[in-house]
Structure 1
């Protein structure tokens, strides 16, 4: 190869291009694959010399790039090593060959992605010059590159760096109408929210994507499952309840293995440790991240509860936990606290701590935070060491109407016990609603009542 290239130096500039192209074709079609890498290395080193000329060297490198792209080298490992070697040779004169380098980087990224070397492939794409002096790259092409980098980084759970390129991509979404690119961007949106622990936002985005017909059925099922997982991990409160309701109304969720815990959360039922442990096995590593407590939270959670009345009532608490340990743990504790507010009118710090397996101070601290953030309605009496839950009257008011037939008169009777009173009221409302429906159907002639027999 060296002797053949030495002969080309004596040729005129007009004949050099044809001669170098002939050498390139012979090298790429060589029957001996063991010599291809070494010969291409020698050829590229020779062709980028100033004596050859920039016009000729660019053309030869362009032909080489096209040859590799069309499959002139069948062995992926050999092609990978050749591309890496060429990029290393050209690196000192990168400015002169930006277009050829960009094409080689795309090919190398394809090989690395096929080998599931996600982060390495992303770094290769990061090295692409998007503002080339040789060819202006459109905003749409830049968007595709950014979205691909984000997707590759997320495969290796590098959410921090992925968010940087996601921000750049977000500024260019207006530049394309390509459905595939926009769908990939929306999926990256959902995954970024997931990794950033914005679970409520992620659940909504995943659920939205699960309805898009252009996406493969298995992928849509996977997105629906991810939506359920994120909804379960989201902070307890009215916003999460709306997302849970939307997922429960989706008939497809009944086929998912996580439907049981979804339904229990939607219906405000307390979750048991066995159910939580089973659900934990379906989570990804970032969804099991451990939480650290602030010094103020540790101090508040460690306050001892010396209320003798609680002990006398049998509400003993032996837990030493001062707060949730993981993201899932926090979601479950907050849900169980919200569910307990549907069961009890009030509860002591010690009693809530026993229910949640927390110290009384930690239970109070969690309730206080949820009340402050508007996710729990209630008040705290620190003198009596008591949490009083506020009953939302909207649900009871809605039950006083039967299919739009008007208000049903409600009379309250003091039975002495709050739960007995609530139960009796529900029975009265149900009976009144049924009677109103039957009366309305009878007036319309849709139902005929059979005469009673003595």
Structure 2
């Protein structure tokens, strides 16, 4: 190999290009390509670093090498990877001169690493591509596609922090293309970053939107719908989550999902039991099971409020330990507000498996954030829930039954008054339904026999 290179060095400048290209073809055409990496490294080092060769010849030889590797002349995966890496190492000090060839080799190396599922390494290779330079600046739509690919690779290894950095760069270029597939990939990156960042409500809405995209395969759409349900379950309890749960519950495809049971229970404000939570937990990804830290203020508040109950059999837990734990506790607290008019700190703690003080702290935070309607009586250690009059009124009008007349009766006792009103409202609603069915002629012989 050294002799051939020495012979080529004696040629005139106009003959060197043909000579080096012929040598390159001979190396790649060898039946035994085991020595190809070393021979190619010597050739590349000569055409790049020997001043007698010149930049023009060097660029032509490297362009041909990149083209040959791209079309698969070197079939062996490991050999091709080694050749690309060795060539990049030689070109690194002269990257400004051979920028186009370096970028092309980086794309090939990223493909090889991605095939090996070396996601982060592939992303780092793409990060090294010069997107803006004085000699060659890539179009915005091509930059946009590169950024999206980097984001996807980083998210495969759950590196959401760095992925969000490149997402912000891609967002500024999102209007540079009209390609449907690229834009769908960008929206999927949005959803996944929100998911990894624990912005579960936003992630659920984006996943659900993508699940309707006709350009996506049916199985992938089903997977996106499942991800939407999971994120909705993990989202903070409150009116916003209730709207997302309603949208997913009314989606006829949701009934086919294994998570439909927990979706329906959350939508219908049923209290979740430990067995149901355990089965759902098995479907979650590692980042969705991340442990959460309790703030020092919440821990202190829980300790202060539990001084009087330290001798009781109440739970000693001072707060949720995981994202799922918190979502379930907040849901059960919200569900209990639909069942009870009020509840003691100790009773709520028993329901949530929290200490009384921690249960009060959770309720207080949800009330402060507008996710729970109620008030706290710290003297009597009671949490009062607002009954949700607007929801009751809406249910009374459901199905076109119209308004149900309600007569207020002064019983002289506030608790009896509320209880009587609930009974009266329920009876009035049942009567209205029966009348509606009678008008429609749907009662038939059943009503006559009664």
> Are the structure 2 counterparts of residues 178 and 396 from structure 1 closer, same or farther at C-alpha, using a change threshold of 3 Å?
same
After superposition, give the CA deviation of every residue in 1:51-72 in whole Å (9 maximum; x if it has no partner). Answer: 1010110011000000000111
1:278 Cα offset (Å): 1.1
Range with bigger deviation, 63-72 or 294-303: 294-303
Range with bigger deviation, 326-335 or 215-224: 215-224
**2:178 is the counterpart of 1:141:** no
1:318 Cα offset (Å): 2.2
CA distance in structure 2 between the aligned counterparts of 1:452 and 1:240, rounded to whole angstroms: 45
Which residue is 2:183 aligned to?
182
CA distance in structure 2 between the aligned counterparts of 1:100 and 1:62, rounded to whole angstroms: 6
**2:386 is the counterpart of 1:385:** no
Which residue is 1:258 aligned to?
259
After superposition, give the CA deviation of every residue in 1:260-300 in whole Å (9 maximum; x if it has no partner). Answer: 11111111111111111111111111111111111111101
CA distance in structure 2 between the aligned counterparts of 1:258 and 1:405, rounded to whole angstroms: 34
Which residue is 1:376 aligned to?
372
TM-score when normalising by structure 1: 0.93
Which residue is 1:337 aligned to?
333
CA distance in structure 2 between the aligned counterparts of 1:143 and 1:170, rounded to whole angstroms: 8
Which residue is 2:233 aligned to?
232
CA distance in structure 2 between the aligned counterparts of 1:180 and 1:277, rounded to whole angstroms: 37
Alignment partner of 2:315: what SS? coil
CA contact (8 A) 1:305 1:350 kept: no
Which residue is 2:353 aligned to?
357
> Are the structure 2 counterparts of residues 449 and 292 from structure 1 closer, same or farther at C-alpha, using a change threshold of 3 Å?
closer
CA contact (8 A) 1:194 1:230 kept: yes
1:304 Cα offset (Å): 4.3
CA contact (8 A) 2:314 2:346 kept: no
CA distance in structure 1 between the aligned counterparts of 2:187 and 2:251, rounded to whole angstroms: 21
CA distance in structure 2 between the aligned counterparts of 1:137 and 1:433, rounded to whole angstroms: 67
CA distance in structure 2 between the aligned counterparts of 1:220 and 1:277, rounded to whole angstroms: 26
> Are the structure 2 counterparts of residues 399 and 275 from structure 1 closer, same or farther at C-alpha, using a change threshold of 3 Å?
closer
After superposition, give the CA deviation of every residue in 1:333-390 in whole Å (9 maximum; x if it has no partner). Answer: 1001001101110011111111111111100100000000000000001111111000
CA distance in structure 2 between the aligned counterparts of 1:125 and 1:448, rounded to whole angstroms: 73
Range with bigger deviation, 316-325 or 168-177: 316-325
CA distance in structure 1 between the aligned counterparts of 2:143 and 2:295, rounded to whole angstroms: 42
**2:156 is the counterpart of 1:155:** yes
CA contact (8 A) 1:98 1:132 kept: no
Alignment partner of 2:304: what SS? coil
Range with bigger deviation, 364-373 or 212-221: 212-221
CA contact (8 A) 1:112 1:120 kept: yes
Which residue is 1:195 aligned to?
196
Write the mapping of 1:304-343 to structure 2, written as runs, cut at 5 A. 304-305=305-306, 317-343=313-339
Which residue is 1:76 aligned to?
77
Which residue is 1:47 aligned to?
47
Write the mapping of 1:109-128 to structure 2, written as runs, cut at 5 A. 109-128=110-129
For structure 2, list consecutive stretches of 5 or more residues without a partner in the other structure: none
Aligned pair count?
445
Which residue is 1:30 aligned to?
30
For structure 1, list consecutive stretches of 5 or more residues without a partner in the other structure: none
After superposition, give the CA deviation of every residue in 1:153-200 in whole Å (9 maximum; x if it has no partner). Answer: 000001111110010000000000011111111000000000100000
CA distance in structure 1 between the aligned counterparts of 2:398 and 2:42, rounded to whole angstroms: 87
CA distance in structure 2 between the aligned counterparts of 1:253 and 1:176, rounded to whole angstroms: 33
Which residue is 2:109 aligned to?
108
> Are the structure 2 counterparts of residues 411 and 59 from structure 1 closer, same or farther at C-alpha, using a change threshold of 3 Å?
same
Range with bigger deviation, 427-436 or 360-369: 427-436
Across the aligned residues of Structure 1 and Structure 2, the Cα RMSD in angstroms comes to: 2.3
CA distance in structure 2 between the aligned counterparts of 1:178 and 1:165, rounded to whole angstroms: 20
Alignment partner of 2:375: what SS? strand
CA contact (8 A) 1:287 1:328 kept: yes
1:400 Cα offset (Å): 3.2
Alignment partner of 1:303: what SS? helix
**2:401 is the counterpart of 1:400:** no
After superposition, give the CA deviation of every residue in 1:5-50 in whole Å (9 maximum; x if it has no partner). Answer: 1111111111111111111111111111111111101100111122
Range with bigger deviation, 101-110 or 274-283: 274-283
1:134 Cα offset (Å): 3.3
1:83 Cα offset (Å): 0.3
> Are the structure 2 counterparts of residues 126 and 385 from structure 1 closer, same or farther at C-alpha, using a change threshold of 3 Å?
same
Which residue is 2:298 aligned to?
297
Alignment partner of 2:198: what SS? coil
Range with bigger deviation, 12-21 or 80-89: 12-21
CA distance in structure 2 between the aligned counterparts of 1:385 and 1:405, rounded to whole angstroms: 40
Alignment partner of 2:155: what SS? helix
Write the mapping of 1:4-23 to structure 2, written as runs, cut at 5 A. 4-23=4-23
> Are the structure 2 counterparts of residues 447 and 342 from structure 1 closer, same or farther at C-alpha, using a change threshold of 3 Å?
closer
Alignment partner of 2:95: what SS? helix
CA distance in structure 2 between the aligned counterparts of 1:168 and 1:451, rounded to whole angstroms: 68
CA distance in structure 1 between the aligned counterparts of 2:132 and 2:308, rounded to whole angstroms: 70
1:420 Cα offset (Å): 6.1
CA distance in structure 2 between the aligned counterparts of 1:227 and 1:75, rounded to whole angstroms: 41
